């Protein structure tokens, strides 16, 4: 996700305050190695410094918190080449707990702002489900922190657990049931927020007697298989049925009759009213938007 300068400043101030004034025993336990928030640099010197001492000295820093997505991939390469099989290191559990602590602080205090600032309302992975957030006021009983997925899984890359560019607001199906802890780095799965052209802009949906399917599946096979997009979308036969029912109900004869009864209603206005949800889709706020858009065009062409 991207971060505006204003929100970045708020996050920096929060963590600076946290690092220099831990309020609880839990805070103190994780802050003892974190006094140099502003000083560490994310480069080979940083990694060599860690390697020359101990993996346990790795802490979340400002540079690491705001590391770009491409730099995150570079950091994984450098880190892995330096430490090798770092997951077997005896300090690895400590590292995981420390960075998860920072991630929880980031999610609970800034998760909603990050999501709203990036205008993410439906799951970037599947574009099928809403990402709902209850009131961010912790004093209310309805408060639920947003579900921020770690694109590079924190179980394998805990040092990126609190890196904002590695966080994606996601639905529970994609995050907890499909993606889980699968290694997106090793499998070279594209990050849907970072890639220049959204995969769903290029997917082409069609339908047959079984339901919806993706015509150009082979072009995006790895991503579509990873998130089971075909399987998730194939159940939505209700969209096909709804469009067909409306097409039959508001056929040319019906539209002509309505126009005669109310001259201000021409064919285009009637069509816009009946099929508004399919013709004028907000891609950022409408689940299944590409499926609705493509299937409507297919059925409309068939009816002409």
Per-residue confidence (pLDDT) for residue 34, from 0 to 100: 42
Q: Say whether both 59 and 134 belong to one domain.
A: yes
Q: Say whether both 30 and 117 belong to one domain.
A: yes
Domain final residue, candidates 179, 213, 245: 179
Q: pLDDT-derived band of residue 259, with 50, 70 and 90 as boundaries? A: confident
φ, ψ for residue 149 (rounded to 5)? Answer: -80, 145
**170 lies in some domain:** yes
Long-range Cβ pairs for the range 205-209 (8 Å, 24+): 205/233, 205/290, 205/291, 205/294, 205/295, 205/298, 206/294, 206/295, 206/298, 207/240, 207/295, 207/298
Residue with the bigger pLDDT between 88 and 140: it is: 88
Among 158, 153, 194, 143, CA closest to 176: 153
- How far apart (Å, rounded) are the C-alpha atoms in residues 258 and 247? 15
Q: Say whether both 111 and 214 belong to one domain.
A: no
pLDDT digits (tens, 9 = 90+) for 261-278: 888 888 889 899 999 999
What is the rounded average pLDDT of the residues 287-302?
A: 95
Q: Say whether both 240 and 172 belong to one domain.
A: no
- Domain, as residue range, for 92: 5-179
What is the rounded average pLDDT of the residues 34-41?
A: 38
Q: Say whether both 138 and 252 belong to one domain.
A: no
Residue with the bigger pLDDT between 184 and 101: it is: 184
- How far apart (Å, rounded) are the C-alpha atoms in residues 65 and 10? 13
Q: Could you tell me the pTM of the whole model? A: 0.84
What is the rounded average pLDDT of the residues 178-202?
A: 90
193 pLDDT above the threshold of 80: yes
φ, ψ for residue 214 (rounded to 5)? Answer: -95, 120
17-26, 37-46, 225-234, 277-286 — most confident range: 225-234
> How many structural domains compose the chain?
2
Q: Say whether both 206 and 284 belong to one domain.
A: yes
**185 lies in some domain:** no
**240 lies in some domain:** yes
Q: Say whether both 170 and 216 belong to one domain.
A: no
Among 223, 184, 207, 203, CA closest to 283: 203
Among 113, 200, 197, 199, CA closest to 148: 113
**187 lies in some domain:** no
**30 lies in some domain:** yes
Q: Say whether both 19 and 82 belong to one domain.
A: yes
**242 lies in some domain:** yes
**189 lies in some domain:** no
């Amino acid at each position: 996700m991207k971060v505006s300068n204003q929100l970045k400043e708020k996050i920096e101030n929060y963590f600076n305050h946290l690092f220099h004034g831990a309020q609880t025993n839990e805070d103190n336990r994780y802050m003892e190695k974190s006094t140099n928030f502003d000083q560490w640099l994310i480069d080979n010197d940083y990694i060599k410094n860690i390697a020359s001492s101990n993996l346990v000295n790795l802490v979340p820093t400002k540079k690491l918190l705001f590391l770009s997505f491409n730099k995150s991939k570079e950091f994984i390469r450098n880190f892995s080449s330096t430490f090798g099989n770092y997951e077997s290191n005896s300090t690895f559990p400590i590292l995981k707990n420390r960075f998860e602590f920072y991630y929880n602080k980031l999610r609970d205090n800034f998760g909603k702002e990050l999501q709203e600032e990036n205008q993410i309302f439906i799951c970037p992975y599947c574009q099928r489900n809403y990402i709902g957030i209850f009131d961010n006021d912790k004093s209310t009983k309805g408060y639920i922190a947003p579900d921020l997925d770690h694109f590079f899984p924190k179980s394998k890359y805990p040092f990126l657990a609190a890196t904002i560019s590695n966080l994606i607001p996601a639905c529970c199906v994609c995050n907890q049931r499909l993606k889980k802890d699968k290694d997106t780095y090793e499998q070279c799965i594209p990050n849907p927020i970072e890639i220049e052209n959204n995969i769903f802009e290029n997917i082409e949906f069609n339908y047959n007697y079984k339901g919806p399917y993706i015509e150009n599946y082979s072009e995006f096979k790895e991503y579509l298989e990873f998130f089971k997009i075909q399987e998730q979308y194939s159940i939505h036969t209700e969209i096909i049925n709804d469009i067909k029912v409306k097409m039959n109900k508001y056929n040319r004869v019906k539209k002509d009759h309505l126009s005669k009864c109310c001259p201000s209603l021409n064919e285009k206005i009637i069509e816009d009213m009946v099929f508004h949800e399919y013709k004028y889709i907000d891609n950022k706020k409408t689940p299944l938007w590409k499926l609705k858009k493509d299937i409507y065009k297919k059925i409309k062409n068939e009816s002409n």
